[in-house]
Amino acid sequence: MNTTAMTALPSPAHTLAQAMAQLPLIAILRGLTPAEAPAIGEALVSSGFAIIEVPLNSPEPMHSIATLTKLFPQSLIGAGTVLNAQQVKDVYAAGGRLVVAPNFKPAVVAQALALNMVVLPGVATPTEAFAALDAGAHGLKLFPAEMITPATVKALRAVLPKTAALMPVGGITPDNMAAYLAAGASGFGLGSALYAPGKSAPAVQQQAEAFARALKG
């Protein structure tokens, strides 16, 4: 009889909780090229970031995801702008374990859950939020945050499960994070204020550290 204990893989919910506990900020690297991935990834990880997404409308996104997952296996890395189930499979094949979408599509959530991936669909209303959570989403991307004010986040937080991770995305800067956090946001997705195509790794690291400081208060 084989008495060797089989070590279960951590659940996606546990993986997300660990990454959020380290730093509840998602680096959104829209426009990243595979050549830039190692240096930008290092700049983020050295600044404390544990969650990185490469939107699928970036150049060769699967190549960048594969590179990042090999270089930073301790981080939660995957794709953004995931719009269908086949793209979920492609991200998984590239080594990604995170799926972020701008919208809630049940098939995307279901495919991510089937592959044991963390999935954060985009929502903008209570109806979408409850539907996404009922489908098994591990957290919610509140998008676009430009139209989801701190007052809206407070209202959502009052009715959604207390354990639901609420992540405003869009127009987030170090200066406007405090109001969202006070309203009940769990963390944030950071786009062009953190990274833009061609931005140097030192500049990204400087901005990443500014966001981390703002989050911590």
Could you read off the pLDDT tens digit of each residue along the chain, which spans 217 residues?
444 444 567 899 999 999 999 999 999 999 999 999 999 999 999 999 999 999 999 999 999 999 999 999 999 999 999 999 999 999 999 999 999 999 999 999 999 999 999 999 999 999 999 999 999 999 999 999 999 999 999 999 999 999 999 999 999 999 999 999 999 999 999 999 999 999 999 999 999 999 999 998 7
Task: Spell 189-198 as b/e; 16+ CB within 10 A means b.
Answer: bbbebbbeee
| Active site annotation includes 154 | no
Catalytic one among 53, 60, 128, 209? Answer: 53
Beta strands in 31-164 (DSSP E): 51-55, 76-80, 98-100, 118-120, 122-123, 139-142
Burial bucket for residue 204 (CB in 10 Å: 0-12, 13-18, 19+): buried
pLDDT for res 11:
95
Output the pTM of the full model. 0.95
Q: What is the pLDDT of residue 21?
A: 97
Q: Are 12 and 119 in contact (CB under 8 A)?
A: yes
Nearest to 194 by CA among 111, 80, 70: 80
pLDDT at 6: 45
Catalytic residue among 141, 154, 162, 199: 141
Q: Is 53 a catalytic residue?
A: yes
55 pairs with which residues across the strands?
80
The per-residue pLDDT for 7 is: 52
Whole-number pLDDT of residue 216? 87
Tokens of 203: 């500049």
Rounded Cα distance, 178 and 173, in Å:
10
Cis peptide before 168 (omega within 30 of 0): no
Burial 85-108 (b: 16+ CB within 10 A, else e): bebbebbbebbbbbbbbbbbbeeb
What is residue 213's predicted lDDT score, i.e. its pLDDT? Answer: 96
